[in-house]
Structure 1
């Protein structure tokens, strides 16, 4: 996909892509860029080492994918909460 992007929009997309809580779905809603487009943009405008670091960071992060994130939140809500006795912990 060919797109023209100004510096302000480019900075916004890069900032959203680096944020842990901003999913690719939200980026798509705000900018119209798909996950593939965001990856291409990051590859083009980041230094190679920064791109590799970002890719490694988001590859295993479920918060970057809306469906996976909402499913994991539902699973976490079903886990019974346990109280921890702080006095029992050894320092």
Structure 2
């Protein structure tokens, strides 16, 4: 985990990754804070500063809605999600391709 005092000391690559993580509905703000040391308020300021006003307003509306899981309390039921038993081997390409 990085200890960053503010968003000013972030590289362009880190800022792009934070914006990408913030835009994803399932990535909680706590994950952004853990990985980059940027709080929810700083993430909101960064989004406001870097994306267009319309995009920011749409993002804030989505984050504050009930479908978003940006806060861990909203995504608490996610532990019971179905996961295929072959998901990991498939993603690591360990299953041989079937011949036709």
Normalization by structure 2: what TM-score? 0.65
Structure-2 separation of matches of 1:4 and 1:52: 26
Q: Distance in 1 between matches of 2:58 and 2:68?
A: 17
Match of 2:46 in 1: 41
Q: CA RMSD in A?
A: 1.8
Structure 1 stretches of 4+ with a deviation exceeding 6 A read none
Query: Where does the alignment leave 5 or more consecutive residues of structure 2 unmatched?
Result: 81-100
Distance 2:63 2:73 in 1: 15
**Is 1:63 equivalent to 2:63 in the alignment?**
no
- Residues matched between the structures, number: 73
1:4 is aligned to 2:9: yes
Flag structure 1 segments of 5+ consecutive residues without an equivalent.
78-91
